[in-house]
């Protein structure tokens, strides 16, 4: 009897110790690592904004065995896309929760095994001169057992090296892809500029502030593109072509622009919350840009130079037609953009 009483006292003492550990353990955690990548943010973002892109540099496949994954939810590259993974070591889901072009990605991490947990992953990109500072972080709340284990194990020391490995992979991949893209980008002199007449075209979409910062163009597209398609769907209006950007001005001196994210429609339509734009028939100079954003400046410069050389000037607006873009294709080498300048003779 005395032995049982002693065992009971010991068990109670152990329980008290565990409860004390949990009480003094950290209730939440955050692990963060950063690296400088020698490319523009856009060249890094293309490896962060899709689940498939993350798989190319993520360190987890090197650490876990017999890993398989399946996609569900929204299309990859859109908020709501989910990757469910399972390996010999763990099982869980990662969901794209927030996408801010060339700046930020948030993921929801739901671990099923070896223990249940709900954490948040973030990826932040900040311009550092001509380079980009990339920061990968994970945060969450420690449950009872995690607080007890935290007394003996340091989460930062456990997870930090994995983040460092992943960021090193991301740096190598982004720099390699950017160098290859720049090498393939056509020189201005090799870009074919075509000339022809375009019929009247009507567009429905959302206009920016008159002097929107040029750095905000990506965010403007990300925020408003879904709204345009949702509004057209509710109104029963079918797009007559791909997503477009109409640029009314591009003030390089002050770093501002005035633009419209829109889609062409067959006829003028009155849709709640949407603006209409009609570009009359006229002469146009245009080129076809194939590949990612690295060739955009050369393409625009080539068209603009040809317009000037022919004694013409921009008459109305500059259009970009995103025939194949990041919204439908994760591989930037497959993107196709028509860059179109509506022109008129210089007076």
* 10-residue mean pLDDT series, the chain (347 residues): 52 45 59 93 90 91 84 89 90 92 92 86 89 92 53 68 94 91 67 91 94 88 93 93 93 89 90 92 92 84 91 89 86 89 88
| CATH superfamily placement of domain 20-182 | START domain (3.30.530.20)
pLDDT of residue 156: 78
Where do the domains of the chain lie?
20-182, 188-345
First to last CA, the chain: 110
E strand segments, the chain: 28-37, 68-73, 81-86, 91-100, 104-113, 117-128, 131-141, 194-198, 201-207, 212-213, 244-251, 256-265, 275-279, 282-290, 312-324, 336-345
CA angle at residue 220 from 238 to 138, to 5 degrees?
A: 115
SS3 of 270-295: the string is: CCCCCEEEEECCEEEEEEEEECCHHH
Q: What are the backbone angles phi and psi of residue 15, rounded to the nearest 5°?
A: -60, -45
Does the pTM of the predicted model rise above 0.75?
no
On whether the CB atoms of residues 318 and 250 are closer than 8 A, the answer is yes
Check whether the bond before 114 is cis (ω within 30° of 0).
yes
Rounded CA-CA distance 274/287 in Å is: 29
**DSSP secondary structure letters along 128-145:** ETTEEEEEEEEEEE--HH
Instruction: Determine the topology of domain 188-345 in CATH.
Output: Multidrug-efflux Transporter 1 Regulator Bmrr; Chain A (3.20.80)
Q: Which of 295, 288, 299 is nearest to 323 (CA)?
A: 288
Rounded CA-CA distance 141/281 in Å is: 60
pLDDT in tens, 99-148: 888 889 999 999 888 878 889 999 999 988 779 999 999 988 765 445 54
Rounded CA-CA distance 316/328 in Å is: 29
pLDDT of residue 93: 94
Q: Are the folds of 20-182 and 188-345 the same? A: no
pLDDT of residue 284: 94
| Longest distance between any two alpha carbons in the chain, whole Å | 110
pLDDT in tens, 191-215: 899 999 999 999 999 999 988 988 8
The gap from C-alpha 42 to its chain's centroid, in whole angstroms, comes to 9
Q: Output the six-digit token pair for 308.
A: 């000037």
């Amino acid at each position: 009897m005395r032995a049982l009483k002693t065992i009971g006292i010991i068990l109670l003492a152990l329980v008290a110790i565990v409860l004390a550990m949990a009480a003094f353990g950290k209730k939440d955690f955050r692990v963060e690592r950063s690296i400088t990548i020698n490319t523009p943010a856009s060249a890094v973002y293309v490896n962060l904004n899709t689940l498939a892109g993350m798989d190319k540099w993520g360190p987890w496949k090197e650490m876990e065995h017999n890993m398989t994954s399946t996609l569900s939810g929204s299309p990859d590259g859109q908020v709501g896309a989910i990757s469910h993974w399972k390996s010999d070591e763990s099982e869980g889901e990662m969901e794209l929760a927030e996408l801010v072009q060339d700046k930020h990605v948030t993921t929801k991490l739901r671990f099923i095994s070896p223990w249940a947990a709900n954490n948040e992953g973030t990826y932040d990109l900040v311009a550092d001169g001509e380079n980009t500072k990339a920061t990968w972080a994970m945060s969450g709340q420690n449950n009872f057992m995690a607080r007890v284990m935290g007394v003996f194990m340091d989460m930062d020391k456990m997870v930090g090296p994995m983040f460092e490995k992943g960021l090193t992979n991301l740096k190598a991949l982004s720099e390699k892809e950017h160098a290859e893209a720049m090498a393939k980008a056509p020189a201005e002199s090799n870009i074919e500029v075509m000339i022809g007449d375009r019929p009247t075209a009507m567009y429905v979409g959302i206009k920016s502030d008159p002097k929107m910062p040029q750095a905000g163009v990506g965010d403007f597209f990300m925020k408003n593109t879904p709204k345009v398609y949702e509004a057209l769907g509710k109104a029963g209006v079918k797009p007559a072509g791909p997503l477009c950007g109409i640029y009314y001005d591009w003030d390089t001196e002050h770093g501002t622009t005035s633009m419209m994210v829109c889609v062409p429609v067959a006829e003028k339509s009155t849709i709640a919350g949407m603006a209409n734009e009609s570009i009359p028939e006229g002469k146009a100079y245009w080129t076809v840009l194939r590949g990612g954003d690295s060739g955009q400046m050369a393409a625009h410069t080539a068209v603009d130079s040809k317009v000037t050389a022919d004694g013409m000037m921009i008459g109305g607006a500059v259009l970009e037609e995103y025939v194949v873009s990041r919204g439908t294709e994760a591989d930037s080498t497959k993107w196709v953009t028509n860059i179109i300048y509506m022109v008129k003779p210089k007076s």
